[in-house]
Every structure is written in C-alpha cells, then in structure tokens.
Amino acid sequence: MPKQIRLTRKRLEWAAPRNATLKGTRLPPYSAAASAKYQASLDRLVQQMQKEYNAEVRKLFRQHADEESALAMDSPNHYAQFVGALDASLASQARILFSWLSQKYAKLFASRATGMTERMIDSSSMASKRALGESLKKISGGITIPVPDMPGELSEKLTAAIAENTGLIKSIQQQYHERISQLVMRSVSTGGNGAQDIFEGIRHYDGLTENRAKLIAVDQTRKVTSAMNVERAKSVGMKRWEWVHSGGGSEPRKLHLQYDGAIFDYDDPPVIDERTGERGFPGQLINCRCTMAPVLELGDAEDTQ
C-alpha cells in the first residue's frame, strides 16, 4: 500500500468540510550558504590559476623585450636580420610555457573538483532536509515527519550530479587555458599590437571566467537541491506539488510564468523547456529561479489520534 502522510485529527477536521488542498511552505530554491561556500572554493582555485598565468605571460614578454633591446644595442646593423629568430624563439617558449601551465592546472582542478562538489552536496542536503521538514509540518498540522537522507533514486541522482559538477569544474580550466593560450599565440604569430593588447584580453577573459564560476556554483546548487526536494517528498508520501515562480529575472521564461500556482504530480512533471520538450522541476534548467511547495489533497492523507 502506498505510503500516506499523516495529519493531526484537528487538521483533518478543519480541512475535510472545506475539501481543502493543504500546502506546505515554499521550499527555498537552494541554500545560499552552500552556494557561497562552493563559489568561494571555486574562486580561490580560479584566482590561483589566473595569477600564475598572468605572471608567467608577463615574464615571458618581459624576457623577450629584454633580449630584443639587447640585440638592438649590441648589433644595430644586424637587428632586422635577427628579429625573426627572436620571434620564433618567443613562439617556441610560449608553447612550452602553456603546455606546462595546462598540465599543472588540469591536474589541480581535477584533484579538487570532487571534494568541492561533495562538500556542496552535504551542505545543501542539511538545508533542504530542514526546509522540507518545516514545510511538511505545516501541512500535517504540527506533526514532525521524519525526512530520510537518501531515499529512492536520490543516491543515483547525486552520483550523476558529482560527475556533472566535476566535469564543469574541469571545463573552467580547459576553457580559460584555451582562450589565453590562443590569445598569446595569435599575437605572437601575427605580430599583434604588443603586450598591452594581450593583457587587456587576459583581463577580459579573467572576468568571463569568474562569472562562469559563479554561475556554475549557483546553478548546480539549485539542481542538487531540486533533486533532493523531489525524492525526499515522494519518499514520505507526497504526490503533488505547486510551481512557485520566482518573480525575479529580467527575462522570465513564459512557460514557467504560466505555471505559477499550478499543481503537478511528482511522477508526471511538466514540460520545462518548450524548445526541447524536456520535462522536469523548478531549478532544473540553467538560471531557473523557480521553486516548489509540497501539496496534499485529502485523499492522499491519513489522520492520527
């Protein structure tokens, strides 16, 4: 027999004559503290990488400038003859440098990724479990309903989340390396406009990388929290939930706006992306700030003395 959530007799006597649909409190889309800690860890790693890339590239061009200056002074009549060799040497040194940086930081990001993700999941788990417990307590009329740690398919979903997060963290390093190395090598091979343009480009990519790390931290914390809320609510006998639109964002998804206040089954989630037909829950799509509230219809409940 399917599990049913319990209500106090007083709660049931109030709800039955009204044929009321009981709603729990809105569940937070994610733990701000868990996301902040995750982002701080990512930021430290990203900043370490950026600092060394910047320092090593500056050193490379400074050494090249010194060599070029020395050549111009020592052999002014032969400067034009040898400048091409200097540029070829710069390109060769740059390739060696970026190969070393890539290996160093690919290894470092890979070694840190899983631990950062697991800490975020642990912190999110405690916050989401507490919030769901309070929401269910409101529905039941005051009964504390035990919320399990790892019900149903949650373990499998969190394993997948760890793999996804690890891949995203690694991709931060891969993308940054590709952008900076191509910027430098392109400037070296074409003559460019000097080191000033290179470092302006690096500053631009530094900002893009920091923003991407922030997006990953918030988005992945949302997705993990959503999965926890769904599986835990189902495990205690909840069958339905209400879509709560965030009300935030300059360009809200029209479909999500239409869903605000609509009630859905956990086992039959709605389409969340009209373009792909993907079905799912609030917070599942990137930048989705929507959340949910557990909903109980009287036929899904039992009373308690």
**How confident is the model at residue 166, as a pLDDT?**
95
**How confident is the model at residue 194, as a pLDDT?**
63
**How confident is the model at residue 305, as a pLDDT?**
43
**How confident is the model at residue 192, as a pLDDT?**
57
List for the chain the helix, strand, coil content (%; round to 5).
65, 10, 25
Shortest CA distance to 256 belongs to which of 222, 294, 288, 219?
A: 288
Q: How far apart are the first and last CA of the chain?
A: 21
Give the β-pairing of 5-8 and 301-304: parallel
On whether the pTM is more than 0.75, the answer is: yes
**How confident is the model at residue 235, as a pLDDT?**
92
What's the token pair of residue 25? Answer: 């409190």
Ranges in the chain, pLDDT < 70: 1-3, 64-88, 191-194, 248-250, 299-305
Q: Between the CA of residue 152 and those of 28, 46, 156, 233, 293, what are the distances in Å?
A: 22, 36, 9, 10, 20
Domain ranges, ordered by start, for the chain: 5-304
CB contact set of 141 (below 8 Å; sequence gap of 6+): 7, 8, 10, 11, 12, 14
**Plot region of 170 (φ>0 → left; ψ -120 to 50 → alpha; else → beta):** alpha
**How confident is the model at residue 83, as a pLDDT?**
45
